[in-house]
């Protein structure tokens, strides 16, 4: 039933001022209870209702902006003595003590407690009551915690003018220190009063860097020597290489000469495995890869120009933006270029022309990071443009696995040193992505927004639990990964090996197929060339011919489809006719 209230007003009264007045409430509708309806319900008495009157609580995690803490010592003096006893005076304290000892309470308490105490002591002496007997058994069902990571600390650039953290390196021994290279990579954005310093931080103390390194030009990359943990080498913005010894202060111990160094910022510097432990090589966008001996930085020991035409000319050379070296394969190394190519090179090649062994073409933009999987050195990870790609050395045509095109540029990536299936990438929107290829392949397993500005560099500590990433405004954040991301899972190695093999095989098949198609094309174009020899010999077709061919293909495909449909319809009709005939036969 509809309840309607009608309100009438004359048209002439529209728009007039309203005169409000008070009047008592008017009952418009009164809907009484309907007794027959009540029969549909049962009266229930008593009713059991549970409520909780506990305090409502919620859990919330907050990270403070900055917490400055300092270690200090305090000297405690005895206290608690009653007013009439002077703690310095031996006599008074002794007298007080004697008084207490005579107290009845004291005696009984101590006697009582003495027996209890003895019991516990004897217990301790008998056996270790807290011994863990179930240590040897593995946990029955490993509770899979969701992957998590949380920020532990942020190390901020102490200077006024903030610079980007372009390189990070962990101390090789004990991992208590983190070295950061600070520079401004944006073209001509470096202001005049930008400091050149780079810092070494102790991860326990985020307030002040432990050591300042003062190069002649801002450092783009910085690496600890894995053999000698007091020495570091850094590549500068102006192309020079500098060598520090932390025991000898902030000035570089040695600096390479300007003429012999790179002509562009040194993007990556890696220490090599050598008997002397002082060899390193560096790569820069000027197209050269230089080998250095740290004891004599006046000139490089070896030089390689990344020229694909094998002529060694700097003009045609490709700029290098990433470098990779695996200690288990000391003669091979890989270079990632600005042009998106990855070059695999052999150091021990006989002639400079043979140094570049093969190329992998995959990215549309500069390759910013390049790293081999620590467990499967045949597969390596590259990051450039908006994707991260995993490659196998055997397949040169394309990567075996790749991520979707992300929304922002990827700047750096690295594999986890403990889990072969996990790698990390950082992006320009300040997000750190953790990818677990065994868990999810089309999107990151975990995405954490570390900061608002872009993240430029990333480094994992060898234990696999701590991660440092550097941002554009000079903040190096230290994150701790949850246990599920930093402990090797069961069967992980074999699963990852199987996955890489599978993908490699797939790519191989695709490559073989491509080659077949290309051969067919070539043979077809050769045939057509034989037929009319006047055609151009390079096999390229004009656009018109292409269009004509495309149209012909299209129409023939449509005709084929129409014919097929016709045939099917005819078949159906025949069937119907047959059935009718049968029915009629049957009916007769």
Partner 1 sequence: MASEVEETLKRIEGQRGVVGTVVCNADGIPIRSSLDGVATAQYARLLRKLTVMAKSAVRDIDPQNDLTFLRLRSQKCEIMVGLENEFLVIVIQNLHQ
| Interaction of residue 57 with partner 1, rule CB under 8 A | no
- Name which of 37 and 100 has its Cβ closer to partner 1: 100
Could you tell me the two tokens for 405? 């095109």
As a residue count, the chain comes to 588
Q: Which stretch binds partner 1 (CB under 8 A): 4-12, 110-118, 138-146, 381-389?
A: 110-118
Question: Least distance in Å: CB of 400 to partner 1?
Answer: 49
Using the minimum distance from each CB to partner 1, give the nearer residue, 76 or 275. Answer: 76
Question: Do 340 and 329 contact (CB within 8 A), yes or no?
Answer: no
Strand 431-436 and strand 446-449: pairing? antiparallel
Task: Give the relative orientation of helices 90-101 and 104-126 as an angle to the nearest 10 degrees.
Answer: 90
Residues 6+ apart with CB under 8 A from 495: 421, 438
CA atoms within 13 A on the CB side of 288: 21
Among 19, 76, 247, 584, binds partner 1 (CB under 8 A): 76
Looking at beta carbons only, is 109 or 298 nearer to partner 1? Answer: 109
* Span interacting with partner 1, options 97-105, 197-205, 365-373, 475-483, rule CB under 8 A: 97-105
Residue 247 found at the interface with partner 1 (CB under 8 A): no
Which residue among 89, 95, 113, 579 contacts partner 1 (CB under 8 A)?
A: 113
Q: Of these, 36, 80, 543, 586, which contacts partner 1 (CB under 8 A)? A: 80
- In this chain, which of 95, 110, 276, 494 binds partner 1, going by CB under 8 A? 110
Q: How far is the CB of 54 from partner 1 (least distance, A)?
A: 14
Q: Specify the DSSP class assigned to residue 75.
A: -
Cα–Cα distance measured from residue 273 to residue 374, given in angstroms and rounded to the nearest whole number: 16
Kindly state the smallest distance separating residue 99's Cβ from partner 1, in Å: 10
CA-CA distance, 195 to 215, in Å (whole number)?
10
- Please identify, using beta-carbon distances, which residue of 121 and 509 lies nearer to partner 1: 121
Q: Which of 469, 422, 419 is nearest to 444 (CA)?
A: 422
CA distance 449 to 541: 51
Q: Sheet holding 401-402: strands in order across?
A: 367-372, 379-384, 387-392, 401-402
Query: From the list 86, 88, 95, 109, which residue makes contact with partner 1 (rule: CB under 8 A)?
Result: 109
Q: Is 257 in the site for partner 1 (CB under 8 A)?
A: no
Residue 15 touching partner 1 (CB under 8 A)? no
Q: Out of 86, 95, 106, 502, name the contact with partner 1 by CB under 8 A.
A: 106
Using CB under 8 A as the binding rule, whether residue 111 contacts partner 1 is answered as: yes
The candidate with the shortest Cα–Cα distance to 342, out of 395, 273, 302, is 395
Q: Which of 88, 112, 191, 207 binds partner 1 (CB under 8 A)?
A: 112
d(CA 299, CA 297): 5
Number of residues that bind partner 1 (CB under 8 A): 33
For residue 278, give the DSSP letter: -
Residue 505's SS3 state is: helix
Q: State the minimum distance, in angstroms, from the CB of residue 73 to partner 1.
A: 13
Residues 117-156 that bind partner 1 (CB under 8 A): 117-118, 120-122, 124-125, 127-128, 130
- Should residue 82 be labelled a site residue for partner 1 when binding is judged by CB under 8 A? yes
Check residue 88 for interaction with partner 1 (CB under 8 A): no
Extract the tokens encoding 123. 């217990």
Query: CA-CA distances (angstroms) from residue 522 to 135, 209, 530, 539?
Result: 68, 64, 12, 8
Give least dist CB 102 to partner 1, A.
Answer: 7
Q: Is residue 107 close enough to count as binding partner 1 by CB under 8 A?
A: yes
In whole angstroms, the minimum distance from the beta carbon of 80 to partner 1 comes to 4
Angle (CA) 377 382 387, round 5°: 140
The window from 115-123, 361-369, 479-487, 567-575 that contacts partner 1 (CB under 8 A) reads 115-123
Task: Pick from 17, 21, 58, 105 the residue near partner 1 by CB under 8 A.
Answer: 105
| Nearer Cβ to partner 1 (10/83) | 83
Q: Is 114 in the site for partner 1 (CB under 8 A)?
A: yes
Look at residue 78 and give its three-state secondary structure: coil
Per-residue buried b or exposed e for 298-317, using 16+ beta carbons within 10 Å of the residue's own CB: eebeeebbbbeeeeeeeeeb
Q: Which is nearer to partner 1, 87 or 249 (CB)?
A: 87
**DSSP 3-state percent helix, strand, coil across the chain (nearest 5):** 25, 25, 50
Smallest gap from Cβ 87 to partner 1, in A, equals 9
Closer residue to partner 1 (CB): 75 or 442: 75
- Cα-to-chain-centroid distance, residue 486: 13
Residue closer to partner 1 by CB (options 81, 554) is 81
Cβ neighbours around 171 below 10 Å, total: 21
Shorter beta-carbon distance to partner 1: residue 118 or 142: 118
Select 112 or 407, whichever has its Cβ closest to partner 1: 112
Q: How many Cβ atoms are within 10 Å of 78's Cβ, its own excluded?
A: 8
Cα(394)–Cα(505) distance, integer angstroms: 10
Residues 6+ apart with CB under 8 A from 281: 269, 270, 272, 289, 290, 291, 292, 302, 323, 325, 333
In this structure, the dihedral spanned by the alpha carbons of residues 337, 343, 348 and 349, taken in order and rounded to 10 degrees, is -120
Q: Which is nearer to partner 1, 116 or 143 (CB)?
A: 116
Q: Which residue number, 124 or 298, has a Cβ lying nearer to partner 1?
A: 124
Minimum CB distance to partner 1 smaller for 107 or for 548 = 107
116 touches partner 1 (CB under 8 A):
yes
Tell me which residues in 363-382 interact with partner 1 (CB under 8 A): none
DSSP assignment letter at 208: S
Residue 264 · residue 254 · CB < 8 Å: no
Instruction: Evaluate whether 202 touches 176 at the Cβ level (below 8 Å).
Output: yes
Q: Please, which residue, 100 or 587, has the CB nearer to partner 1?
A: 100
The reply on whether position 94 binds partner 1 by CB under 8 A is no
Using the rule CB under 8 A, give the single segment among 8-16, 41-49, 104-112, 575-583 that binds partner 1: 104-112
Q: Do 282 and 266 touch, CB atoms closer than 8 A?
A: yes
Interface with partner 1 (CB under 8 A): 76, 78-82, 96-97, 100-102, 105-118, 120-122, 124-125, 127-128, 130
């Amino acid at each position: 039933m509809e309840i309607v209230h009608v309100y009438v007003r004359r048209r002439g009264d529209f728009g007039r001022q309203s005169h409000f007045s008070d009047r008592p409430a008017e009952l418009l509708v009164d809907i009484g209870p309907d007794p027959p309806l009540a029969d549909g319900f049962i009266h229930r008495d008593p009713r059991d209702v549970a409520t909780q009157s506990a305090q409502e609580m919620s859990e919330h995690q907050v990270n403070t902006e900055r917490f400055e803490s300092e270690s200090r010592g305090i000297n405690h003096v005895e206290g608690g003595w009653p007013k009439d006893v002077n703690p310095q005076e031996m006599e008074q304290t002794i007298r007080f003590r004697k008084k207490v000892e005579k107290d009845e309470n004291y005696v009984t308490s101590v006697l009582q407690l003495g027996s209890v105490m003895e019991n516990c002591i004897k217990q301790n002496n008998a056996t270790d009551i807290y011994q863990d007997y179930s240590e040897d058994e593995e946990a029955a069902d490993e509770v899979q915690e969701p992957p998590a990571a949380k920020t532990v600390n942020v190390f901020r650039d102490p200077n006024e003018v903030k610079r980007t953290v372009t390189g990070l390196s962990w101390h090789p021994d004990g991992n208590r220190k983190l070295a950061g290279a600070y520079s401004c990579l944006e073209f001509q954005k470096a202001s005049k009063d930008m400091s050149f310093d780079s810092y070494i931080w102790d991860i326990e103390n985020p307030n002040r860097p432990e050591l300042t390194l003062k190069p002649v030009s801002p450092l783009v990359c910085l690496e600890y020597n894995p053999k000698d943990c007091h020495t570091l080498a850094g590549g500068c913005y102006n192309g020079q290489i500098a060598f520090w010894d932390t025991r000898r202060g902030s000035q570089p111990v040695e600096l390479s000469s300007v003429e012999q160094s790179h002509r562009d910022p040194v993007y990556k510097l890696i220490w090599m495995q050598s008997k002397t432990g002082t060899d390193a090589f560096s790569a820069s966008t000027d197209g050269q890869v230089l080998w250095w001996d740290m004891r004599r930085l006046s000139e490089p020991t070896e030089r390689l120009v990344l020229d694909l035409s094998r002529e060694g000319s700097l003009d045609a050379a490709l700029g290098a933006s990433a470098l990779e070296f695996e200690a288990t394969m000391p003669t091979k190394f890989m270079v990632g270029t600005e042009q998106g190519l990855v070059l695999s090179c052999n150091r021990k090649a006989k002639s400079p022309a043979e140094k570049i062994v093969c190329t992998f073409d995959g990215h549309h933009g500069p390759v910013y990071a390049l790293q081999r999987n620590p467990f499967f050195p045949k597969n390596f990870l590259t990051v450039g443009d908006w994707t991260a790609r995993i490659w196998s050395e055997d397949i040169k045509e394309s990567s075996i696995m790749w991520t979707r095109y992300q929304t922002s540029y990827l700047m750096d990536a690295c594999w986890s040193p403990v889990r072969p299936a996990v790698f990390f990438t950082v992006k320009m929107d300040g997000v750190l992505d953790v990818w677990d290829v065994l868990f999810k392949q089309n999107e990151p397993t975990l995405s954490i927004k570390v900061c608002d500005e872009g993240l430029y560099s990333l480094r994992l500590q060898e234990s696999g639990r701590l991660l440092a990433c550097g941002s554009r405004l000079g903040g190096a954040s230290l994150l701790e990964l949850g246990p599920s991301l930093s402990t090797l899972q069961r069967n992980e190695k074999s699963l990852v090996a199987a996955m890489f093999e599978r993908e490699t095989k797939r790519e191989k098949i695709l490559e073989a197929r491509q080659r077949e198609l290309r051969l067919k094309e070539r043979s077809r174009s050769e045939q057509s060339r034989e037929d009319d020899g006047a055609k151009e010999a390079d096999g390229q077709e004009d656009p018109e011919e292409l269009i004509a061919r495309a149209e012909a293909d299209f129409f023939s495909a449509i005709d084929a489809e129409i014919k097929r449909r016709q045939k099917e319809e005819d078949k159906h009709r025949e069937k119907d006719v047959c059935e009718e005939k049968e029915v009629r036969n049957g009916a007769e």
